[in-house]
Amino acid sequence: ADLYGVSAWGQGLVHVLPNGDVALADPAENGATVPVSLPAILEGLNERGIATPILLRVQSFLEIGLRRLNDAFSNAIAATEYRGDYRGVFPIKVNQQAEVVGRLVQAGQPYHYGLEAGSKPELIVALAQPLAEQSLIICNGIKDDEFIRLAILSLKLGFRTVIVLESLKEFEIVKRVSDELGIKPLLGVRVKLTQVVTGKWASSSGDRSSFGIGADQIVTLVERMRETGFLDCLVLQHNHLGSQVPNVIDVRRTVTEACRFYSELRRLGVPLAFLDMGGGLGVDYTGEKRASDNSVNYTVDEYAAAIVETVGYAMDEAGHPHPTLVTESGRFVVALSSMLIFDVLDATLYGVPQRPDLTENEHHFLHDMVAIEEYVKPGRLQECFNDAVYYRDEIRALFRRGQMDITQLATAERCFLYILKRVQTVIRENGAGEALSEALEGFVDYYHCNFSLFQSLPDVWAIDQLHPVIPLQRLNEQPTRRAVLTDITCDSDGKIDSFILGDGIHKSLPVHDLEEDKPYHIGVFFVGAYQETLGDLHNLFGDANVVTISLTGEGGFTIEHETEGDTIAEVLSYVEYDPGDCLDAFRKTVERAVAKGTVNSAERRSLIAAYKDSLGGYTYFE
């Protein structure tokens, strides 16, 4: 069966080959293509000197999110005879990498795909892109004079840059800058809706959300704009529901409320022509298709249909023209495009396959514990587990009181693990009740892996984000162990201990025994959204190597782009060390040791060479 649930969450992009390798393929809508084995890709990259951890991006996967989104809206528009267009924008914050933004802009040309800038630096990025003529640049966030000046001036170059007003005060800045420049701006207004959506980002919606203008102030704003002659500039209404909205009913409810505001503003004489529903389109990370933190109960087609239908219906009812629809769906567009791949370096194994040999001298609790073995059978597994835990805890208490020595304690711990292993073996063959399975999830192996959770998967640490995580090879072999994956930082938070499997979410990952001198690769999928720049330098682990490949369609791949991960010298400079100064200081310490006679000249050479090599090396295990 599909132990790892790949067919549920794989989106037609991730497959398992008969030889047990995990493979990537373009989706069916791109025409049938031959899947490419990920271990083979890694071997190829390794031959070219590109080591794990690697953030692997697949060019076509970057484009499918974009295409699925735009197709969903154009299909919904055609199906409902909606009399308006869709003009999506990519929120740069979701993945600011030049390569990603560049490719999306290029691939987005036919759709007049635009960009959303939430800050001055993001606007600077947007204005350096060859956007299609009809594409929008939507400016959100708090804006100063400089930001607003640049946005207004860019209209002169043909950019369609919309400044979304976050407050009444912001309008006054816009008015002043616009008067100074003698150029009228294109404006939007961020309306604070009262509907609260469910999910992790619930606080981005409703009365308590920090952004936007509520009903109490919006009429004041409109009147102020009318009296200053700026009402004609207000063409867009913006609403943002939060990210990863789990339930499509929330989408319909918020869009309905947004339409009421839109209709009323039109009634007040505001020439609105664009309705921007912000972000929220979620990714079904678990493949469960249900409304939960890491899954969504809708497809992109259903999301688009919910918006298009609701807006069309509301506008017909109110007698207004259908607006051009905008969404700022970033997560959906880029999440699938990349995966993090790392190796297991070592393991701390739980479970002793050998029955410990006991002598007459051992405490009777140890003999009692080993005797559990005789009744490890289906129907009595919970009882075996309870008994083993009881004896183990009694033995630990004896040790704490000084009534048992460390050698006996060690034997007792091994007896416990032996019984546990026996119980687990019977469970593997016959299954177990839920309570026992859950209790046993705590007794797992640790697989120590070459990556930093804080650098490469920050949301896993910060907000319990789940991504599909699987071994990339030997999936034709029954896994014999259950493991939690620990990272290379020396922080106990640096671990992945929640996994999406075919039958639900588990606290450990089924893995295989490690083999001498053979790599054991793990892949974390769908990490293209938010992770790259939210990551931090905990323990000074830097960026991983990033490689973009394209799949040839015939089972091969080509490297499109490569960015080497940070060297130690680079990471040091990010935190204000001068690597040259560090080297000088180290050199001086070595010279003092030479002067004292504790280091000879050969040692001096190797000390300095080792320090220099490390400065130029990868921050990860090499």
Minimum Å gap between C-beta 529 and ligand PLP is 7
Is 565 a binding residue for ligand PLP by CB under 6 A? The answer is: no
Contacting ligand PLP within 312-341 (CB under 6 A) = 328-331
If binding means CB under 6 A, how many residues of this protein chain bind ligand PLP?
14
Nearest 5 degrees, angle CA 212-CA 216-CA 222? 75
* Min dist. Cβ of residue 237 to ligand PLP (A): 13
Looking only at residues 70 through 109 of this chain, which bind ligand PLP when binding is defined by CB under 6 A? 91, 94
Per CB under 6 A, 243 contacts ligand PLP:
yes
- Select from 278, 277, 172, 148 the least CA-distant residue to 221: 172
Of 526, 540, 543, whose CA–CA distance to 460 is shortest? Answer: 526
Name the residue nearer to ligand PLP (CB basis): 186 or 283: 283
Among 14, 41, 62, 281, binds ligand PLP (CB under 6 A): 281
The label of the residue with tokens 């912000």 reads 278
User: How far apart are the C-alpha atoms of 579 and 279, rounded to whole Å?
Assistant: 42
Residue indicated by tokens 């919309």? 162
Site for ligand PLP (CB under 6 A): which residue of 188, 279, 323, 458?
279
Closest alpha carbon to 460 in 500, 402, 431, 517: 500
**Would you say 88 or 356 has its CB closer to ligand PLP?**
88
140 binds ligand PLP (CB under 6 A): yes
Provide, rounded to whole angstroms, the least separation between the CB of residue 94 and ligand PLP.
5
Q: Where in 591-620 is the site for ligand PLP (CB under 6 A)?
A: none
CB-closest chain residue to ligand PLP: 279
**CA–CA dist 607, 598 (Å, integer):** 13
* Binder among 5, 185, 188, 278 for ligand PLP (CB under 6 A): 278
Measured from the CB of residue 563, what is the shortest distance to ligand PLP in angstroms? 23
Return the residue of 21, 26, 63, 116 that touches ligand PLP, per CB under 6 A: 116
Per-residue three-class SS string for 109-148: HHHCCEEEECCHHHHHHHCCCCCCCCCEEEECCCCCHHHH
Q: For residues 197 and 205, is the Cβ–Cβ distance under 8 A?
A: yes
| Shorter beta-carbon distance to ligand PLP: residue 143 or 331 | 331
Does 292 help bind ligand PLP (rule: CB under 6 A)?
no
Alpha-carbon distance of 157 to 46, in angstroms, equals: 46
Q: What is the DSSP string of 467-486?
A: --EEESS-TTS---EEEEEE
CA distance 164 to 185: 10
Which residue, 287, 295, 221, 274, is CA-closest to 114? 274
Based on the shown chain and the rule CB under 6 A, indicate whether residue 199 belongs to the binding site for ligand PLP. Answer: no
Cα–Cα distance for residue pair 369/350, rounded to 1 Å = 17
Minimum distance, C-beta of residue 147 to ligand PLP, in the bound complex (Å) = 15
- Active-site residue set: 490
**Span of 10-18, 60-68, 106-114, 279-287 interacting with ligand PLP by CB under 6 A:** 279-287
Point out which residues bind ligand PLP (CB under 6 A).
91, 94, 116, 140, 240, 243, 278-281, 328-331
